[in-house]
Structure 1
Amino acid sequence: MTPRRRLTAVLTLVLALALGAGCASPARTPAASPGGAITLGFSAWPGWFPWQVAEERGLFRANGVNVELKYFDSYTDSLNALATGKIDANSQTLNDTLASVAGGAKQSIVLVNDNSTGNDQIIARSGISSLADLKGKTVAAEQGTVDHYLLLLALKKAGLTEADVKFQPLATDAAAAAFVAGQVDAVGVFAPFTTTALKRPGSRAIATSADFPGAIPDHLVVTRDLLGRDPKAVQGLVNTWFDTIAWIRDHRAEAMEIMAKRAGVGVPDYESYDKGTTIFTLDQNRAAFGGDLTASARQISDFLVASELVDAPPPLDGLFAPQFVQAVQP
């Protein structure tokens, strides 16, 4: 599995958009017409591997949508592909979607795949048993990622700020390695790098995404072009997702095999990651679009501005498209 949730990709995104602003529209692979092929991207995260099940079980076709499913080894590449119109849809975090929109991308969220409920963690060495104990300690995380965001939320809960710790910005894999090597006192990482970090003797998670419900949501995001050009296809994608989740529930063993293979891990490892991800039901989707997502978007926007990842809060007009989950037949 490869790193996901890399908000630093916003720099690449803004450059790509700026280069395209003074010339023809960026190169893309659009559907030839309504009903044509839709290119759907996804990458390594337990909440997104159900798309692999959908493809292998023919559930896209069953819902009348022609999908070219594209797996990205690099999550960053999937973000840039959607932002520049090279794919029509992608599964990505709310943080990254907001960063893309702030950079000028025209995107809409049509589905909540999941919330991280434990797979993002702040892990500390032996002797650090609480968030308050982080004061004055060196903490590593990838700057601008959701795990950096989780660290700030955790520090705030303990009455601290980033200024109270020695923040060490490192890529997620490097941060986990530095922690195991004893170079830092704590680290913010997501699965599977949580497994790596916990190899340090005596280490333990002192905060996880489970402590902050709704803070790290993941979504199906589509281009505004697709939304206007072929809303029927968008509905087909959303319908397929819920059919897939139902199929996984009824055929769990087979589904675990499919998803673990796509992830490149054994089923037992995949089962452990799966437990830290809460797949949203239809009712949870409808409730989230009813208000929770807007509140989360505003909070994350503040984080993006404060972290100087964007110059101004991203516009929220048109960001959420709840009509598709509303139209799903239970």
Structure 2
Amino acid sequence: MFTKRPLAILVGAVALALAATGCSGTVESLAGDDTSSGEGRSTLTLQDSTSYTQLPIRFGVEKGFFDEEDLDVRFTQVQDAVTGVATGELTFAFGPTSNYLRAAEKGSPIKIVSSAFRSKGPFFLVARPGINSVADLKGKTVGIAQAGSSMETYTRKILSDNGVNPDDVSFIANGVNEQAYGTLTTGQVDATIIHQPFPALGELDGKSVTLARGWDYLPTYHTGVLIAGNDVINDDPELLRRGLSAYFKSYTYAKEHYDEYLPWLQAKLGTIDPKAVELALQQEDDIWDNNPAIDPVAIADTQDVEIAVGFQDARYDADKYIDTQFIPQEYVKDFSYPQPAR
């Protein structure tokens, strides 16, 4: 059972804005010679990100997959992806399914237009050396990225399934990626939920041990989607179709050509041990499925989990906020899920 209670959030040195979607900044062009698209071309505006999970998009730009769709690609930094797509500043954006569904239910003019390159929780619960099991986290401090996030949901589920009452753990909103890893290695938290490549890096450097993988505990919880604003959906549907086609071609090619993608990725993540980057790809290879289809059963399961953990009051009609007409059918696959850990 999940335990419901108010979170005691300890605010440390981490800037929590970074735990969301980034900060304001400038627009960068990675294709095209100027700020306007040429004849017959369109501009696809995406959220700027150099994170490990988003780099296949840049890889696809360099490979020419977006150019094949007559698309120029621009990246811009925004404070919030929901606001970005709702205002048309972004053509589409990647992010957590449950957060985006809640935003739509509350009135944001957005819809889910596709699953992302993966939709199963790519989260790893890692701890400082000396903590060897989830049970050891009782009475300890655990980073949950951002209060109310899907990463907190996974953390609570992992704790509960291993006999640890979440009430017996102190949660800290400690950011994501480098920020979260820093709170672990500097002793601000005893454990944290985190994305790759940091579990692999911590393992190789001897700075962390992996206690659990998210998808082993909530295999049908839907975690990754692409959203677009209603205005883009209504006014420029062809831009969405071409953009999603290039997106999935980029991710699919990267997954099927590790021999080419891995050295490229290692070069882009130059401050991270190349061995850790390779290990990171290996450790989550089985959930990188590049399936744009949206499983309604998984969406329902996700709502039920959010209700159980106390982040949602009741089920709502998620179908109102999902528009599948733009999904590139050539990438659609049968739904498959890993066996839950027991």
Which segments of 5 or more consecutive residues in structure 1 lack a partner in the other structure? 13-28
Determine the C-alpha separation between the residues in 1 that align with 2:189 and 2:167: 16
Asked if 1 retains the 8 angstrom alpha-carbon contact of 2:153 and 2:306, the reply is: no
Q: Which residue matches 1:323? A: 325
Q: Which residue matches 2:240? A: 234
Q: Which residue matches 2:166? A: 162
Q: Which residue matches 1:16? A: none
Determine the C-alpha separation between the residues in 2 that align with 1:255 and 1:53: 8
Q: Which residue matches 2:337? A: none
Determine the C-alpha separation between the residues in 1 that align with 2:131 and 2:225: 34
Which segments of 5 or more consecutive residues in structure 2 lack a partner in the other structure? 1-13, 24-34, 333-342
- Could you say if the C-alpha distance between residues 299 and 184 of structure 1 is closer, same or farther in structure 2, counting changes exceeding 3 Å? same
Q: Which residue matches 1:19? A: none
1:86 to 77, 80, 89: 89
Taking structure 2 as the reference length, the TM-score comes to 0.70
Q: Which residue matches 1:207? A: 212
The question of 1:295 aligning with 2:297 is answered no
Give the alignment's Cα RMSD to 1 decimal.
4.1
Asked if 1 retains the 8 angstrom alpha-carbon contact of 2:124 and 2:195, the reply is: yes
Worse-superposed segment, 218-227 or 254-263: 254-263
Q: Which residue matches 1:56? A: 62
Which amino acid in structure 2 is aligned with residue 318 of structure 1? K
Asked if 2 retains the 8 angstrom alpha-carbon contact of 1:177 and 1:197, the reply is: no
2:138 to 135, 140, 144: 135
Determine the C-alpha separation between the residues in 2 that align with 1:59 and 1:328: 15
Deviation per CA, 1:92-119: give whole Å up to 9, x if none.
2224423543553222222222337685
> How far off its partner does 1:161 sit?
3.4
Which amino acid in structure 2 is aligned with residue 205 of structure 1? T
Which amino acid in structure 1 is aligned with residue 278 of structure 2? E
- Could you say if the C-alpha distance between residues 249 and 133 of structure 1 is closer, same or farther in structure 2, counting changes exceeding 3 Å? closer
Higher normalized helix content (fraction of residues): 1
Determine the C-alpha separation between the residues in 1 that align with 2:203 and 2:121: 14
Q: Which residue matches 1:217? A: 223
- Could you say if the C-alpha distance between residues 54 and 314 of structure 1 is closer, same or farther in structure 2, counting changes exceeding 3 Å? farther
- Could you say if the C-alpha distance between residues 295 and 192 of structure 1 is closer, same or farther in structure 2, counting changes exceeding 3 Å? same
Secondary structure in structure 1 of the residue aligned to 2:320: coil
Which amino acid in structure 2 is aligned with residue 253 of structure 1? D
Q: Which residue matches 1:24? A: none
Following superposition of structure 1 onto structure 2, how do residues 1-330 of structure 1 map, counting pairs within 5 Å? 9=20, 36-63=42-69, 65-70=70-75, 72=77, 76-115=79-118, 119-144=122-147, 145-172=149-176, 173-194=178-199, 198=203, 203-211=208-216, 212-215=218-221, 217-248=223-254, 251-264=257-270, 265=272, 267-275=274-282, 276=284, 278-282=287-291, 285-286=292-293, 289-299=294-304, 301-302=306-307, 306-307=310-311, 316-325=318-327, 327-328=329-330
> How far off its partner does 1:163 sit?
0.8
Deviation per CA, 1:50-87: give whole Å up to 9, x if none.
21122112212323x42423164x7x554542343311
- Could you say if the C-alpha distance between residues 202 and 119 of structure 1 is closer, same or farther in structure 2, counting changes exceeding 3 Å? same
Asked if 2 retains the 8 angstrom alpha-carbon contact of 1:52 and 1:258, the reply is: no
Determine the C-alpha separation between the residues in 2 that align with 1:62 and 1:183: 47
- Could you say if the C-alpha distance between residues 181 and 129 of structure 1 is closer, same or farther in structure 2, counting changes exceeding 3 Å? same
Asked if 1 retains the 8 angstrom alpha-carbon contact of 2:45 and 2:76, the reply is: no
Determine the C-alpha separation between the residues in 2 that align with 1:102 and 1:114: 24
Determine the C-alpha separation between the residues in 2 that align with 1:232 and 1:245: 20
Aligned residues: 300
Determine the C-alpha separation between the residues in 2 that align with 1:259 and 1:181: 27
Determine the C-alpha separation between the residues in 2 that align with 1:87 and 1:95: 20
Which amino acid in structure 1 is aligned with residue 318 of structure 2? L
> How far off its partner does 1:152 sit?
0.9
Secondary structure in structure 2 of the residue aligned to 1:256: helix
Taking structure 1 as the reference length, the TM-score comes to 0.72
